[in-house]
Amino acid sequence: MSQTPTLHNAARKGEIAKTVLMPGDPLRAKYIAEKFFENPKLVSDIRNIYCYTGTYNGKEVSVMGSGMGIGSMSIYSYELFNFYDVDQIIRVGSAGALNHDLKLRDVVVGQTASSDSNYAAKYNLPGTIAPCGDFGMIEGAVKYGREHGINMRVGSLLSGAGFYYSDEWMEQWRRMGILAVEMEAYALYLNAIEAGKKALALCTISDLIFSGECCTPQERQESFDDMIRMALSLA
């Protein structure tokens, strides 16, 4: 018996491509499909989490919102990997810079993801796991970034279980080499590892945590095209 559609995804197996871009914001998924895809087709809109499938430079690709946070990402990415036979998911999101050298709209390529969440406890590991992005995808993203003059850094992301934290909390992570804070990469990487699939988080800096500089909500939704093209180059 087919496990698709699911409670959270109206698509049937075969309607979602092997490569999926996943922004947190469903409206960014809509924006990506309408701006970058040829013949985009809406295959799911349950809970207004839009999923589109189309082609980009002749390759089939899908884009689907993940919603906010580790809990939401854990559901949607798990189903894509395990029920829809997706091979790779590329998170295309925003992040707040902890590293003082990062600037607005720089792209962080997430080599690893740390978290204050307890999501990894379900694996009953006798220690602490450090989930990583797929190295081949990291290489591809770096190559694209260098060829196209994108300001980028490769390194560690922090996936916060919440959103509002003190500067002191952020500073502790900064001192340990974390480049930027977001909310989803940790769950995505763990689900990919468990499923034997590939994942990478690409995050455009939308906020400078310690200075208060930030992009507007409209800019977050629509001005991250360099990152999106980088992700599509990996499809």
Report the catalytic residues. Answer: 207
Kindly state the DSSP code that residue 33 receives in the 8-state scheme: H
CA-wise closest residue to 194 among 128, 126, 129: 129
Name, in order, each residue with C-beta under 8 angstroms of 83's C-beta and a sequence gap of 6 or more: 3, 4, 6, 9, 13
Q: String of b and e for 140-175 (b: at least 16 CB within 10 Å)?
A: bbeebbeeeebebbbebbbbbeeeebeeeebeebbe
Beta strand pairing status for 19-22 and 88-97?
parallel
Residue with tokens 């990402």: 73
With DSSP H G I counted as helix, E B as strand and the rest as coil, what are the percentages for the chain, rounded to 5? 35, 30, 35
